[in-house]
Amino acid sequence: MRDPQFWQKDGLTARALSPLSLLWRAGAGIRGLTTPARHPGCPVFCVGNFTVGGAGKTPTAVTLFNLLTALGRTPHFVSRGYGGSIIGPHRVDANSDRADQVGDEPLLLAEHGPVWISRERFLGAEMARADGADAIILDDGLQNPSVIKDCSFAVIDSHYGIGNGRVMPAGPMRESLESGLEKIRAIILIGDETPKFMENLRASIPVLRAHIEPQNAADFANKRVLAFAGIGRPAKFYNSLQQSGAQIVETRDFADHHPFSAQELTHLRMRAQTLGAALVTTQKDLMRLPSHSRDGISSLNIRLVFDAPDQLIQIVKTVLADG
């Protein structure tokens, strides 16, 4: 699924769908009132966003994991396991679990540390705590009311911002901006632009600027590539690949979390051979490919780099001290 074009502008279609947004907000409100909120007994750091689609939550969660580890903590990730069939709680095994079982993002996170998936997010947090976690990173849990968070970050793509600012289905927002801002400790803004909605942002909300940095850019310098992606906003991936020096001769977009078939992969390989190009995709997409189907397909590996890392360190240390 791709974001509808009208989500970018506050036009007639968006305004016409606004009454349906009230139903979405009412459903979220009822869920919040009827879901008991519990705390697992150790600091909970939530990495979420205000909108649907990719914003950079996964590299943010990895950065937070590395920071907590450096501070002497034993963090575990807790995820819903979107796209997977296992309800959980289940600890992800990167060697045996598949993306169709646990989701692509948990598999990617499992390359860095312990990951629990659970449709009931609190049960996953509870199992992580019982398994030795003394800090929990709740992946994509900003709108989940079942776990009490000690610190929540809203990750925002600086180019996309919040779209037209309207709640689904009139816009990309999962909740109103006002209610989202009330939940967070800071905004993590990825990219060089400044979204318009931030012009009137109150000064009490810290904004931590960061950017995506390719880790294996040298692998693609001056190389002809056919790039394909099944993520929310593939243009971000193509831009990063181009900045790495790759010569992108063709791109292929697929739906977010798309399960690639053997026929699709065969077609991609044949097309790449015709173009004299190498096949390159994202880390998440590579996770969704069966291990025996990954031969000849590379991924652009990325990490998140903060412009002023001390800002994040100070927030995390304060939360740990308070806990």
Residue 5 counted as domain residue: no
pTM of the complete model: 0.92
Please compute, for residue 76, the number of CA atoms within 13 A of its CA located in the half-sphere on the CB side.
Answer: 23
Whether residue 66 is found in the same domain as residue 143: yes
Residue 124, both tokens = 């996953």
- Distance CA(259)–CA(203), nearest Å, equals 43
Residue 9 counted as domain residue: no
Distance from CA of residue 114 to its chain's centroid? 17
In this structure, the number of other CB atoms found within 10 A of the CB of residue 28 comes to 17
Whether residue 203 is found in the same domain as residue 236: no
Whether residue 265 is found in the same domain as residue 310: no
Count of structural domains within the chain: 2
Whether residue 77 is found in the same domain as residue 176: yes
Residue 58 counted as domain residue: yes
Q: 90-91 and 115-117 as β-strands: parallel, antiparallel, unpaired?
A: antiparallel
Residue 3 counted as domain residue: no
Residue 309, both tokens = 């890392």
pLDDT tens by residue, the chain, 323 residues:
567 888 888 889 999 998 888 888 888 888 888 889 999 999 999 999 999 877 899 999 999 999 999 999 999 999 999 989 999 999 999 999 999 999 999 999 999 999 999 999 999 999 999 999 999 999 999 999 999 999 999 999 999 999 999 999 999 999 999 999 999 999 999 999 999 999 888 878 999 999 999 999 999 999 999 999 998 888 889 999 999 999 999 999 998 889 999 999 999 999 999 999 999 999 999 999 988 889 999 999 999 999 999 999 999 999 999 87
Residue 1 counted as domain residue: no
Whether residue 67 is found in the same domain as residue 205: yes
pLDDT at site 135: 98
Whether residue 316 is found in the same domain as residue 168: yes
Residue 7 counted as domain residue: no
Distance, first Cα to last Cα, the chain? 40
Specify burial of residue 217 (Cβ count, 10 A radius: 0-12, 13-18, 19+).
middle
Beta bridge partners of 298: 280
Query: 120: domain CATH number?
Result: 3.40.50.300
Residue 8 counted as domain residue: no
Whether residue 318 is found in the same domain as residue 178: yes
pLDDT at site 2: 65
- Distance CA(51)–CA(162), nearest Å, equals 6
**Secondary structure (3-state) at 268:** helix
The DSSP element (H or E) to which 18 belongs, if any, is helix 12-34
Whether residue 25 is found in the same domain as residue 173: yes
- Distance CA(227)–CA(277), nearest Å, equals 9
Please name the amino acid found at residue 16: A
What domain range includes position 68? 16-30+40-211+305-322
Whether residue 278 is found in the same domain as residue 318: no
Whether residue 68 is found in the same domain as residue 166: yes
Whether residue 50 is found in the same domain as residue 188: yes
- Among candidate residues 61, 114, 131, 121, the one with its CA nearest the CA of residue 89: 121
Whether residue 200 is found in the same domain as residue 221: no
Residue 153 counted as domain residue: yes
